[in-house]
Every structure is written in structure tokens, then in C-alpha cells.
Structure 1
Amino acid sequence: MTEAVVAGATHPDIDGVEVVQVAALEATADDVMAADGYLLGTPENFGYMSGALKHFFDTVYYDCLDHTRGRPYGLFVRAGNDGTGAVRAVEPLVTGLGWKAVAPPVVATGELTDAHLEACRELGMTLAAGLDLGIY
């Protein structure tokens, strides 16, 4: 799913966006503040976001709270259940940060399909194209 999101965000028709991929356990507040938008991915673990994504928010939240308001984000979830728990866990955090969703979360349940991957490509492309065009 991550590869598909990155493929969408780096589509050849999008010129003015640099995509930097940083693992959740390695991302810093400086990384977040340097970015104009965010694509967040997580597996659903026990009906919740991954521990790595939780650690990311724990690490960057307060440092970024007043500096990243209004920035766009997208969320994609590889769900073991129905994905709603992971989405519900992320939403209050991004809301608190003041980030704005560019599209509904992509939630892949069951077998990973071409439709899931296409939705991920579209999510990446939507965020990157909006940044490139100055919409966000």
C-alpha cells in the first residue's frame, strides 16, 4: 500500500512536489514541520493504529501543534478487522493538530486487491497534485 501511495504522489504529471518517505519510528518534529503535507499509513493492530504510528504522534504532537495547522493529510490502513478502530484512533490526533483530510481514509480489508492499491495511488496523487497546484 505504501508503494502505491508513493507511486501516486510521485506521478510524472506532478512536478512541484518532493516526496520524502520517513518511517514512523524515525520521523521527528523537524521532519513534520519541513513537510507541506502528510501521507500516514498503518496496519490495524488489535483494532487500533500501529504502535509505531502512535509513537510518531507521541513524539511530534506538541512540538508541531502550533506550526502545522491547516496542512493536508491522507490516511491509509491495512485492516485486520474493519479498520474503523485505527481510523478512529488517528482522527482525534490529526484534528488536534489541525490537519485537513484530502480524501476519506483508504481502508483495505480482506485480501489486498488492485482496487485497494488504486485507491492508495489516488490518495497519494490527490495530496501531491493539490500541493503542486497550490490548493492546499
Structure 2
Amino acid sequence: MTASPPALSKRLLVVAHAPSENTRRLLEAVLRGARQDGIEGVETRHQPPLEAGPEDVLAADAILLGTTENLGTMSGALKDFFDRSYYPCLERTQGLPYALWIRAGHDGTGTRRAVESIATGLRWRPARAPLICRGAFDEAFVGQCEELGGWMAAALDAGIL
């Protein structure tokens, strides 16, 4: 008789808008980090914001949000996700740990403020400071995103979050 693999006990939801090749690379890096060897008890699931909904959030133990900076705020796709999920999640996800990464062509300030305002209203708990990938695309962003995904999944796996 063979031993069955350990049951996944925690769920990490990644809701990220990745409309370009470079933003897809950042998303892939986050997922690669979250799914790295050694993280045994976490199931990482990506849902694009236009497909994610309250049922996905309610099933999650933590959430990673990714967005582009669009006209000084979050992408319309991430805003749509929040519009559909806010009230169904409001009283049921308080304390949910989250982290955020932003691909910002400028400074990302307005985007950060907009997402944090909604997360504060939901009473979600920031797991760490947002990662803002500012200015022209830099290959270092890929490593930073991989580290963010790995950190979030490892913290969830270890029971820190």
C-alpha cells in the first residue's frame, strides 16, 4: 500500500490582471514562487479578475492581488472583481491576509491607495508592504514577484498567516 500525499490544508488565491507579455511574466513568477518545492500544504490557484468572484475569496485562506497602474489607479478588471465581491465578502472575510503587487509605469501611489482603501473596508489584513514595480520594465521585477509569491505561500504553509 502506498502512502497518499499530504492533504492540502490552505488555499492561496491569486487574482491578477496581466494584459501584456511583461505582466504575464510577473504573474508567472508569483505563481512559480508560490508553488516552489518545500511548500507542501498550500494550494495556489490563479483566477483572472474578470473570472474571480466572492466564492473564490470565501474559499481562500489568503489572497495575492496583482494589477497594472491604469490612469493612476488599479485596472478596471481588478475594480470589477472588487465591485462583484465586496458585499458578499464584507462580513465573511475579515482578517483575510493579503498582499499586493503593482506594475506601475509611473509611481503606483494612486493604485496602492485605491486597493488598500478597498482592502481596509473589507477589513483584510496586509501580510506585507505592497510590491510596486515602478518605471520602465526591469528584469529584477521578475525575481521580486517570485519572492513575493514564495514568501506568501511559505508564510501560509508555516501558519504565520
Q: TM-score with structure 1 length normalisation?
A: 0.95
Instruction: After TM superposition, list the pairs within 5 Å mapping 1:1-136 onto structure 2.
Output: 1-136=26-161
Give 1:114 deviation, angstroms: 3.0
Give 1:115 deviation, angstroms: 2.2
Larger radius of gyration: 2
Aligned residues: percent identity? 51
Higher mean Cα deviation, 106-115 or 25-34?
106-115
Whether the 8 Å CA contact 1:79–1:109 is kept in 2: the answer is yes
Q: For 1:73 and 1:2, how far apart are their aligned partners in 2? A: 16
Gaps of 5+ in 2: 1-25
> Hey, which bits of structure 1, 4+ residues long, moved more than 6 A?
none
Cα deviations across residues 88-129 of structure 1 (Å, max 9, x unaligned)? 110011111111122211111223223222221121112111
Gaps of 5+ in 1: none
Q: For 1:129 and 1:10, how far apart are their aligned partners in 2? A: 9
Structure 1 vs Structure 2 CA RMSD: 1.0
